[in-house]
Amino acid sequence: MPTGRHHRVDIAVLGGGAIGLACAWRARRQGLSVMLVERDGLGSGASKVAAGMLAPVAEAEFGDAARSVLEMNLRSAAMWPAFAAELGQAAGIEVKLHRSGTLLLARDADEARELERSSALRDSLGLQTRRLRASQARALEPALAPTVRLALEAPDDHSVDPRNLIEALARACTRAGVQVLAEAGPAALELDADGAVRGLRLHDGSIVEATTVVLAAGAWSGSVEGLPPEALPSVRPVKGQILRLRDPAGPGMITRVLRYEGGYIVPRGDGRYVLGATVEEQGFDASPTAGGLYELLRQAWELVPGITELAIEELGVSFRPGTPDNVPLIGPGGAPGLLCATGHYRNGILLTPLTAELVCQALAGAVAA
């Protein structure tokens, strides 16, 4: 913890979401001295609001940029089991991978045609899916309404609880000796006379000198102070509203992740469900809206009428870090001394293990140089 006006570390991480925490933990494990600075609570950005789907297959889309996202998503999904086990051990708490698989659902003829089209894409990419008739889908998930027309099963698309992940990463960081500075107010990048990043200026005025600053400020990465605007990464906030629900009758109503046009339901396996999410280009407007909530519930109710029996625990709002082509920005930033780990858009939880690895590879080079 900073005690004076000036501190010196190998790596300063700006942002305490899943990405910043994972990078900090991994960098410290490489023997580097690390300080992580978070303006609010750890995970209080998008990470604790996220649904936690690890869904490379369901997220697959057409186009070149989508293809590179898919490749990253698949690599990271493959890393998740070992990452969760190692993190659990380092933190002393279990990091639960919910291996439920996912059903992609169509409700009418148009949606069924679109699902067929995306199924052909997945086949052409060698992604494992299974086409199910409506009756087969309803045999797997009896809570589904007769409105289901067609389903595609993605057996390897799983989920985690991001709150469990943040708690584990926070503990692992502390245990490993990362200096974690939460509730610190907004930090700014500190430059030298040549325009290179030489550290962070904390909200209390202290300077943290660092060989490299890792910019992991999620949707706020494009507006961090200190750098000229043209040197900041091109990241914009994409608002998402999301509901957390609980079944008073306990677990079992839905066992797989269900995805459909306009939303998804993620079961936590203990009677809790996450119902998401709106995708809105509204800047940093964090107000929940009646219209957003209505749409989430309406879409889900058409497929799972039983959701009206669930208790509402929380309505969350946060911001996905979007880039122009929605490909994450992981690597050298717009000034010497800056490394970006941002722009993960809809897949930041999925991409946490891969991002930490890529950042550590880059850091090893930077610190040795």
Ligand X SMILES: Cc1cc2nc3c(=O)[nH]c(=O)nc-3n(C[C@H](O)[C@H](O)[C@H](O)COP(=O)(O)OP(=O)(O)OC[C@H]3O[C@@H](n4cnc5c(N)ncnc54)[C@H](O)[C@@H]3O)c2cc1C
CA distance 37 to 23: 12
CA 341 vs. chain centroid, Å, equals 12
**Is 339 an interacting residue with respect to ligand X (CB under 6 A)?**
no
Among candidate residues 214, 266, 222, 208, the one with its CA nearest the CA of residue 242? 266
For residue 58, count CB atoms less than 10 angstroms from its CB and return exposed for 0-12, middle for 13-18, buried for 19 or more. buried
Interface residue with ligand X, options 347, 353, 356, 363 (CB under 6 A): 347
Closest CB to ligand X among residues 34, 49? 49
Q: What is the SS3 assignment for 201? A: strand
Q: Which residues contact 3 (CB under 8 A, 6 or more apart)?
A: none
E strand or H helix at 179, and its extent? strand 179-181
What is d(CA 363, CA 11) in angstroms, rounded to the nearest whole number?
8
Nearer to ligand X, 134 or 184 (CB): 184
Place of tokens 């998930």: 141
Q: How far is the CB of 213 from ligand X (least distance, A)?
A: 11
CA end-to-end span of the chain:
27
With contact defined as beta carbons under 8 Å apart, do 7 and 207 qualify?
A: yes
Q: Is 240 in the site for ligand X (CB under 6 A)?
A: yes
Q: Tell me if 189 contacts ligand X by CB under 6 A.
A: no
Contact status: 263 vs ligand X (CB under 6 A)? no
> 211 or 347: whose CB is closer to ligand X?
347
CB of 248 to ligand X, least distance (A): 24
Looking at 9, 20, 58, 60, which residue binds ligand X (CB under 6 A)?
20
Look at residues 93, 90, 82 and name the one whose alpha carbon lies nearest to residue 176: 90
d(CA 263, CA 338): 36
Contact (Cβ atoms closer than 8 angstroms) between residue 245 and residue 312: yes
Smallest gap from residue 61 Cβ to ligand X (A) = 15
Measured from the CB atom, the residue of 267 and 321 that comes closer to ligand X is 321
Smallest distance from ligand X to CB 231, Å = 15
Instruction: Report the residue number, 90 or 224, with the smaller CB distance to ligand X.
Output: 224
Strands 257-260 and 102-106: parallel
User: Among the residues of 194-326, which ranges form H helices?
Assistant: 290-303
**What is the footprint of ligand X within residues 107-146 (CB under 6 A)?**
none
Contact between 179 and ligand X by CB under 6 A: the answer reads no
* Distance (Å) of CA 69 to CA 30, 111, 161, 347, 348: 27, 24, 22, 9, 11
Window 293-332: contact mask with ligand X (x via CB under 6 A):
-------------------------x-xx-----------
* C-beta closer to ligand X: residue 20 or 267: 20
Piece of 8-16, 101-109, 207-215, 280-288 that binds ligand X (CB under 6 A): 8-16
45 touches ligand X (CB under 6 A): yes
Name the one range near ligand X by CB under 6 A: 31-39, 101-109, 127-135, 148-156.
31-39
Nearer to ligand X, 80 or 91 (CB): 80
38 binds ligand X (CB under 6 A): yes
Measured from the CB atom, the residue of 91 and 317 that comes closer to ligand X is 317
SS3 229: helix
Q: Is 244 in the site for ligand X (CB under 6 A)?
A: no
Burial label, 15 (beta-carbon count in 10 A; 0-12, 13-18, 19+):
buried
Selected from 83, 256, 344, 360, the binder of ligand X by CB under 6 A is 344
Q: By CB under 6 A, is residue 235 in contact with ligand X?
A: no
From 111-119, 169-177, 296-304, 340-348, give the range in contact with ligand X by CB under 6 A: 340-348
Binding site for ligand X (CB under 6 A): 14-20, 37-40, 44-47, 49-53, 186-187, 216-220, 224, 240, 242, 276-277, 318, 320-321, 342, 344-350
